Each structure stands twice: as structure tokens, then as C-alpha cells.
């Protein structure tokens, strides 16, 4: 472990203000620093503080060896504020540097897998808790909890949510967090699966660790990429995927999702299309009416998403968090202050990690330019990019090449103090802010998220900010198979293993082989094998000639051309067979539209609304939650015919 001297030796005034808001390294260390930094009576700016009694201040050295930090403490009698202020500043810098080194050493020494499967070893989670406790997020205060409760209440949260919320005020509480942009109708499905996994992991860890663990869903509504969330999809009565695009009249490029208004008229039109395009069920009318009411009472996309997620998982105690809430903005300010006080340094760490990955033959999931700041500023209601230019911060409105304004470091720090809501973390800082403002012990993440979190770990960004990183848990991957699709698959003799392996070419092939012309594909396979053997024999017969470059390259081109021609012939055969077998072709198409809508994974296209909630009602969600396997590494196949214990 290397504690970087270029980071740890800084002690300028702005950084001291940053450090004074940092948290204690360990339960038994820096306790005095915590009291001095956070006690309401203490103020380092006071000019006439007279103390009548002794004040205990840590004044000994910090000993860091591998994964432990020892700060010895002794008593000092302080009688003048002029003595207290410089000692406080010196202590704050010492505490912050020790904290960063401790987190880095713990993170490197743990030698634990990022995905603890199968099962969850007690030793793994005790180590994770030790790291979390080394840099704790302070318990949420009553006013902070009030803001979080108000947000969840507006989403229609039941008593189960408020019971979990209150536990965030307990210093022993931990959190399992999942997060996603606010997609229409809580889509796509993998956003719902993330939330479900957070609920199940929180329950598992609470039983394992014997301390409160709260499931939290972080709605990434600061994001301004509207294209990510503006589409919804459903399957019609013929099993075809239907797409819908939300086009609000008030939209402007650069608006955060939580500022995009909800047009209940457009929403009603979409729900009416579902009503007309899908088969009648005992659940459809009430399900669509419920979502229509949620849309009519939601002012924006964030509110609509929150209502939908609470409707689905509120009874499971899932707590919702929005980055725009005042207590989250205020808690995030410490991370942003360090980013502003040391412009470009965190970006430099990311760039260095990217170069290391490229040198090792890996592709970096995140690319940064050296002039990019890792936060946005809100101007004119829009989320604006910030770059570094000659010691100043340039702010760009979306779509403009020239900056709107240029600000000094002092300007930004002053604005951060006065208006923290004007600042928004980018992709680099989002997870760091999340782990800083909440007592996160674990985060449920998809494949892309896990890649960039691994890059942050490689870059050492978490220790640089003095934030303890949460453990990363792989999001479960599910495939919902409806009864009709299940029957078609069974008739074609398609085993579940092909679905779990995501071998979709083999699935289509199996449908074709189930027809009267299946033998034609067997003949094609035999012919392909004979071709391969013939080329091998011919090459051997050429002897030494086959090793000459001009001959070997010609052989390779000829073999490739024959392989491509055989592939084209195979496709023509398959298309011709299916064209003449309308029933099988229709069954194959319905299955693939359900399992791979638009040629993509089901969980990335469809939402829970249609066909799933429309066909199976509210009982679908607890059933999926019960059958979701947290330890499964591959795609998990769930047969919806088993919801009621019989085929429907």
C-alpha cells in the first residue's frame, strides 16, 4: 500500500475546511477529532473563546501499518481561541490524511472477492463492516429523516418504508443500495431486479451481521440523458414488441430527469393502447387504472418512477432516495469541496488508471480528458458541463461551444457553501457521494457499473476522497417465461438450459428441426463436416507447398469463402423451411419476441407493466422476489406458469 505523499502533504486553508467535515477513522481513534469537528459549541472561526476547563486533543503521531491506524491521545489545557484554532486545523489535516491511508490499506489488504458467491461468508461481511465502520456516515438526524420521509410519503410509501427509514438514525445501521435512472413505468425490468436484490440482500445481511440493514434505492434523477428513459415497450396480443416514445412539450436539452414534467395526457394515451392491444385479464383494468392515477398525480418523471416503485416494493420496506433532497446535497458537499479544492487531481487518477488498464490489455470503461471536472453546475435550470481553463472553472450550457461563465476556485467554494443544490456529481463521483451520505455496506450493480467501479478502485479514488467503498454485488439476471411461450418451447423440445445459456441460435435451430424438414439441417451439418475434412486432407497432400505464404493464404481465403457460402445456404434453408411452416414460424416468432424483444435481452427492453403485471397482477412481484436467487451467476429462468401452482 502506498499513501501518496503528493496528496497527503497538502494543508492549504480550503482543504482544511474540507477535512474538518471528514469522519473518524475508527471507533477507537479520532474520537476527539469527531467531537471538535462536529460539536455544535465549537467554532474554529470564533475570535474570543475562553475555555474554563481542560480540552482533550489528540497530539501524538499517527501510526499506519498495513490495515491499522493508531492515534494516541493526551490532555492539553487550552485557554485561548488563538491557540485552539491552529491546533484544530493541524489536527483536521492529520485526521484526514490518516483516514485516507487507513481506508486505502484496508481496501488493499482485504483480499476478498468482489462477488462473494455462492453464499455470503461471515468473514467477508465482517471485513466489509470493518471498512464501513472505519469511515462511517453519521446517523441521519431527525430533520434529515423528515426530508427523506416526506419524499417517500409523497410517493405513497406504506408503514414498512417508514419503519426502515427510522433505522437510518441508528449509528449501527447499514444500507444495501441499488440505483438506476427514473425509467417510465419502472422500466426496464433490470431496474426492478436491482431494487428486489437490495431488499433480499438487506434481509440476508441483517440476519448474518445481527445489526440493522436498510434497503435503499437511489433514483439517479440528476441524469440529463433523456434518451435513456423516454421509451417504454410492451407486448401486444400477437406477442409483438410495441415501442412508445414520451415527447413532453416543455423538454429542453440539459434538463435533469427530475425537472422533466409528466404529461398525463400522453401517458393516458399509452395506457389506452395497452388496453386495446392486449388480451383481457382479471388484472388488466385495475392495473392500468392504478398506473393512470399515479401519472395524474406525479409532477415529474422522478415522481412517477417513485410512485411506481413504491407501489411494487413499498410493502417490502424499500426506501427511496433522491439526490436533490436538501440533506443529501449538504452531505455531498464535502466530496465536492475536495474535488474543487484540488482541481483535476481525481481526474488525473482516473486517466492514470486507464493507461494502466490499456497497458495490461484491458479496455477502460471510463475515459476522461485532463480538463474535465467531475461535477456539473446548474445554470438556467440546466445541468452544465464544467472544465478547467487556466486555473479557472469554465461552465458550458448544453449545446454551446463557448462558456457561459468562468469562475475561480473561491467563487465555487463560496457557492457550494451557500447553494449546494447548484452542484451535481458526475459518473465518477456519484457512487462516492452515495457511499458518503449513506451507511452503505454493499451496492447492487449491473455489469457496466461493476466495470467502472473496478476502475475507480484501481485508480484509488475512494481513498483520495476519504470515503470507505461499499462492496459490489452483481445484479441478478432473470428471464420471465410466460405459459404460452413455455408450451411452445416444450413442443419444440427446447430444454431450459439453452435459455439459461442464452444460446438463442440453438433455440431457433431447435424450432426448425422440430418441423418435417429438420433432416435437411442434419444433411447440411454433415456436408459442412465433409468440407472441413476435405480441406484438411488437401492441405496435407500439398506437403511443404502448404507452408509457403502465398499458398497458405490462398488456402485460408478459399476455406473462408466456402464457410461463408455454407452459412448463406444454411440461412436460406432455415428461412425457406419456416416460410412453409407457418405454425412453427409463428410459435418461434412469439417465443423470440417474448424472450428477446427487439433482438435484445428481455430485462433491457420490457418493463413490468405489460404483459407481466397486466397478466399476473400484484402477486407477481412477491413471487419473483421469493424465487430470485442472489447467488446465481448465470441467467435465471422463471416460469410464470408456477405463480399459482398450475399453468395458466
pLDDT tens digits, 540-599: 888 888 788 888 888 888 888 888 888 888 778 777 877 767 788 888 999 999 999 999
DSSP H or E stretch at residue 242: strand 241-245
Render pLDDT for 357-401 as a digit per residue (tens, 0 to 9): 999 999 999 888 889 999 999 999 999 999 999 999 999 999 999
Residue of 473, 392, 397 lying closest to 177 (CA atoms): 473
Report, as an integer, the average pLDDT of 172-178: 96
pLDDT value of residue 406: 97
**Alpha carbon separation from 427 to 230, 351, 458, 474, 475 (Å, rounded):** 20, 14, 16, 19, 19
Strand runs labelled E in 269-411 = 319-321, 372-379, 382-389, 392-396, 405-407
Q: Can you give the pLDDT at residue 97?
A: 56
**Does the pLDDT value for residue 41 go beyond 90?**
no
Residue 266 domain flag = no
**Three-class secondary structure of residue 480 per DSSP:** strand
Predicted local distance difference test score (pLDDT) of residue 621: 96
**DSSP letters spanning 406-417:** EE-HHHHHHHHH
Q: Which residue(s) pair with 637 in the sheet?
A: 479
Residue 38, pLDDT above cutoff 70: no
Would residue 101 count as lying in a domain? yes
Whether 60 and 98 have beta carbons less than 8 Å apart is answered as no
pLDDT for residue 9 is more than 60: no
β pairing state of 213-219 and 174-180: parallel
Count other C-beta atoms under 10 Å from residue 241's C-beta: 18
121: left (phi over 0), alpha (psi -120 to 50) or beta: beta
- Per-residue pLDDT at 54 exceeds 90: no
Higher pLDDT, 344 or 12: 344
pLDDT the model gives residue 102: 52
State how far the Cα of 139 lies from the Cα of 218, in Å rounded to an integer: 18
- Kindly tell me if the per-residue pLDDT of 304 is higher than 70: yes
Least confident of 15-19, 62-66, 336-340, 439-443: 62-66
Residue 328, CA atoms < 13 Å, CB-side half-sphere: 24
Assess whether pLDDT exceeds 70 at residue 80.
no
- Per-residue pLDDT band at 500 (split at 50, 70, 90): very high
Q: What is the pLDDT of residue 626?
A: 96
Report if residue 3 sits inside a domain. Answer: yes
Helix (H) or strand (E) holding 153: helix 142-154
First to last CA, the chain: 59
What confidence score (pLDDT) does residue 52 get? 30
pLDDT range class, residue 37, cuts 50, 70, 90: very low
Task: Give which of 564, 588, 580 is closest to 509, Cα–Cα.
Answer: 588
| 539 vs 186, higher pLDDT | 186
Q: What angle do CA 541, 545, 549 make, to 5 degrees?
A: 130
pLDDT of residue 43: 29
**Residue labelled with grid coordinates 408503514:** 159
pLDDT top residue among 259 and 535: 259
Peptide bond into 611 cis (omega under 30): yes
Structurally, how many domains does the chain consist of? 2
Q: Can you give the pLDDT at residue 247?
A: 93
The candidate with the shortest Cα–Cα distance to 103, out of 552, 407, 465, 551, is 465
Give dist(CA 646, CA 529) in Å, integer. 44
Cα separation, 231 vs 184, in Å, equals: 7
Q: Are 606 and 186 in contact (CB under 8 A)?
A: no
Residue bearing the bigger pLDDT, 85 or 261: 261
Kindly state whether residue 54 falls inside one of the protein's structural domains: yes
Helices 518-542, 549-580: crossing angle, 10 deg rounding: 170
pTM recorded for the entire structure = 0.81
Listed residues 580, 607, 629: the one ending a domain? 580
Burial of 475 (0-12, 13-18, 19+ CB in 10 A): buried
Q: How many Å apart are CA 130 and CA 211, to the nearest integer? A: 13
3-state secondary structure of 459: helix
Q: At which of 84, 109, 134 does a domain end? A: 109
CB-based contacts of 610: which residues, under 8 Å, 6+ apart? Answer: 234, 235, 274, 278
Q: What share of the chain has pLDDT > 90, as a percent? A: 61
Instruction: Give dist(CA 181, CA 223) in Å, integer.
Output: 7
Whether 53 shows a pLDDT value over 60: the answer reads: no
Q: Is residue 87 part of a domain?
A: yes
Assess if residue 604 is contained within a domain. no
The answer to whether position 556 is within a domain reads yes
Which residues are CB-neighbours of 178 under 8 A, at least 6 positions away?
Answer: 194, 195, 197, 198, 215, 216, 217, 218, 443, 444, 445, 475
Query: CA 272, CA 274: separation in Å to the nearest integer?
Result: 5
- For residue 332, the cross-strand partners are none
**Number of other residues whose CB lies within 10 A of the CB of residue 533:** 10
**Alpha-carbon gap, residue 235 to 194, rounded angstroms:** 23
Least confident of 134-148, 280-294, 586-600: 134-148
The residue-averaged pLDDT of 515-520 equals 73
Nearest to 182 by CA among 226, 137, 238: 226
Other C-beta atoms lying within 10 Å of the C-beta of residue 565: 11
Is residue 72's pLDDT more than 50? no
Domain boundary among 67, 82, 109: 109
Question: Domain of 75?
Answer: 1-109
Over the stretch 141-150, which tens digit does the pLDDT of each residue have? 999 999 999 9
What pLDDT is stored for residue 360 in this prediction? 93
Sorting pLDDT into bands at 50, 70 and 90, what band is 101? low
The pLDDT, as a whole number, for residue 93 is 54
CA trace torsion 621, 623, 627, 633 (10° rounding): -20
Residue 73 domain-assigned (yes or no): yes
Q: What is the rounded distance in angstroms from the CA atom of residue 177 to the CA atom of residue 214?
A: 8
CA distances from 292 to 151, 304, 424 (A): 20, 10, 31
Phi, psi of 397 (to 5 degrees): -65, 145
Q: What is the pLDDT of residue 569?
A: 83
66: cis peptide before it, omega within 30°?
no
Whether residue 105 contacts residue 7, with contact meaning beta carbons closer than 8 Å, is answered with no
Amino acid at each position: 500500500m502506498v499513501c501518496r505523499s503528493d496528496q497527503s502533504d497538502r494543508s492549504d486553508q480550503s482543504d482544511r475546511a474540507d477535512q474538518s467535515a471528514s469522519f473518524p477513522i475508527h471507533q477507537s481513534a479520532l474520537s476527539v477529532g469527531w467531537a471538535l469537528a462536529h460539536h455544535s459549541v465549537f467554532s474554529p472561526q470564533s475570535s474570543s473563546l475562553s475555555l474554563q476547563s481542560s480540552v482533550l486533543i489528540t497530539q501524538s503521531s499517527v501510526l499506519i501499518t498495513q490495515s491499522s491506524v493508531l492515534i494516541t491521545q493526551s490532555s492539553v489545557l487550552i485557554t485561548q481561541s488563538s491557540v485552539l484554532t491552529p491546533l484544530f486545523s493541524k489536527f483536521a489535516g492529520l485526521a484526514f490524511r490518516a483516514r485516507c491511508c487507513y481506508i486505502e490499506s484496508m481496501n488493499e489488504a482485504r483480499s476478498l472477492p468482489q462477488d462473494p458467491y455462492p453464499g455470503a461468508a461471515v468473514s467477508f461481511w465482517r471485513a466489509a463492516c470493518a471498512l464501513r465502520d472505519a469511515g462511517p456516515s453519521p446517523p441521519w438526524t431527525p430533520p434529515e429523516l423528515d426530508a427523506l420521509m416526506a419524499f417517500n410519503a409523497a410517493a405513497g410509501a406504506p408503514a414498512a418504508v417508514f419503519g426502515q427509514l427510522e433505522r437510518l438514525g441508528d449509528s449501527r445501521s447499514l444500507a444495501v443500495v441499488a440505483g438506476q435512472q427514473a425509467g417510465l413505468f419502472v422500466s426496464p425490468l433490470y431496474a426492478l431486479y436491482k431494487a428486489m436484490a437490495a431488499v433480499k440482500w438487506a434481509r440476508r445481511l441483517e440476519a448474518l451481521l445481527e445489526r440493522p440493514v436498510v434497503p435503499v434505492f437511489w433514483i439517479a434523477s440528476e441524469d440529463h440523458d433523456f434518451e435513456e428513459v423516454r421509451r417504454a415497450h410492451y407486448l401486444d396480443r400477437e406477442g409483438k414488441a410495441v415501442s412508445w416514445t414520451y415527447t413532453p412539450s416543455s423538454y429542453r436539452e440539459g434538463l435533469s430527469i427530475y425537472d422533466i414534467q409528466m404529461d398525463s395526457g400522453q401517458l393516458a394515451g399509452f395506457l389506452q393502447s395497452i388496453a386495446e392491444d392486449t388480451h383481457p385479464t382479471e388484472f388488466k383494468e385495475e392495473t392500468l387504472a392504478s398506473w393512470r392515477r399515479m401519472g395524474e398525480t406525479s409532477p415529474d418523471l422522478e415522481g412517477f418512477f417513485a410512485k411506481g416503485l413504491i407501489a411494487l416494493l413499498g410493502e417490502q420496506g424499500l426506501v427511496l432516495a433522491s439526490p436533490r433532497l436538501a440533506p443529501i446535497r449538504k452531505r455531498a458537499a464535502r466530496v465536492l469541496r475536495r474535488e474543487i479544492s484540488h482541481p483535476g487531481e481525481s481526474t488525473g487518477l482516473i486517466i492514470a488508471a486507464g493507461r494502466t488498464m490499456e497497458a495490461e490489455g484491458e479496455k477502460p470503461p471510463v475515459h476522461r480528458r485532463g480538463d474535465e471536472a467531475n461535477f456539473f453546475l446548474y445554470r438556467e435550470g440546466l445541468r452544465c458541463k464544467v472544465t478547467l481553463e487556466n486555473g479557472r472553472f469554465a461552465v458550458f450550457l448544453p449545446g454551446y461551444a463557448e462558456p457561459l461563465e468562468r469562475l475561480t476556485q473561491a467563487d465555487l467554494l463560496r457557492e457550494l457553501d451557500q447553494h449546494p443544490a447548484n452542484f451535481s456529481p458526475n459518473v465518477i463521483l456519484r457512487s462516492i457521494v452515495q457511499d458518503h451520505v449513506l451507511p452503505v455496506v454493499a451496492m447492487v450493480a449491473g455489469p457496466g457499473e461493476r466495470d467502472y467501479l473496478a476502475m475507480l478502485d484501481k485508480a484509488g479514488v475512494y481513498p483520495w476522497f476519504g470515503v470507505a467503498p461499499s462492496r459490489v454485488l452483481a445484479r441478478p439476471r432473470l428471464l420471465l417465461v410466460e405459459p404460452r411461450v413455455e408450451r411452445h418451447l416444450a413442443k419444440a423440445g427446447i430444454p431450459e438450459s439453452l435459455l439459461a445459456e442464452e444460446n438463442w441460435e440453438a433455440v431457433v435451430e431447435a424450432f426448425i428441426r422440430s418441423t418435417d424438414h429438420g433432416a435437411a439441417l442434419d444433411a447440411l451439418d454433415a456436408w459442412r463436416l465433409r468440407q472441413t475434412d476435405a480441406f484438411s486432407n488437401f492441405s496435407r497432400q500439398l506437403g511443404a507447398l502448404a507452408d509457403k505464404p502465398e499458398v497458405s493464404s490462398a488456402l485460408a481465403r478459399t476455406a473462408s469463402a466456402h464457410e461463408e457460402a455454407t452459412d448463406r445456404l444454411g440461412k436460406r434453408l432455415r428461412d425457406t423451411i419456416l416460410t412453409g411452416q407457418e405454425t412453427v414460424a409463428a410459435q418461434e416468432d412469439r417465443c423470440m419476441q417474448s424472450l428477446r424483444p427487439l433482438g435484445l435481452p428481455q430485462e433491457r427492453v420490457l418493463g413490468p407493466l405489460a404483459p407481466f403485471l397486466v397478466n399476473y397482477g400484484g402477486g407477481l412481484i412477491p413471487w419473483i422476489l421469493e424465487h430470485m436467487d442472489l447467488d446465481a451467476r448465470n441467467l435465471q429462468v422463471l416460469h410464470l406458469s408456477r405463480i399459482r401452482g398450475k399453468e395458466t
